Amino acid sequence: MISTDFPTKQVTLKPEDFDPPLKRKEPTVPGYWTLEEIAAEIEMTSRKVQYDVLGRPEIGLKPFLKAYKVAKVLLVPDEDALEYIQRYRNRKKS
């Protein structure tokens, strides 16, 4: 029986876990992904990824991807970016 008293251990993704492999070889910012890098991995526009980060209040879309704004660049932490990429790739396979 699974109890909610103890948090379940999350499996962390690594770049080696992806099939096909990730296109990004060297990060622009170590430990983070830019929106453009994520967009290239999922073969979408960076605007689509930006909507997932910032949301679109005018149509009721809430943000669901965490990012940090540094100057004019949005940076997504490695773990969150890899989960997003995997989720998007799995969605495209279906």
Confidence at residue 41, expressed as pLDDT on a 0 to 100 scale: 94
**Nearest-CA neighbor of 19 among 74, 93, 94, 76?**
93
Predicted confidence band of residue 13 (pLDDT cuts 50, 70, 90): confident
User: Can you give the pLDDT at residue 83?
Assistant: 94
Residue 2's pLDDT band, with cuts at 50, 70 and 90, is: very low
* Average pLDDT score, the chain: 86
How confident is the model over 47-55, as a mean pLDDT?
Answer: 95
Mean pLDDT score, 56-60: 92
DSSP secondary structure letters along 30-80: TTEEEHHHHHHHHTS-HHHHHHHHH-BGGGTBPP-S--EEETTEEEEEHHH
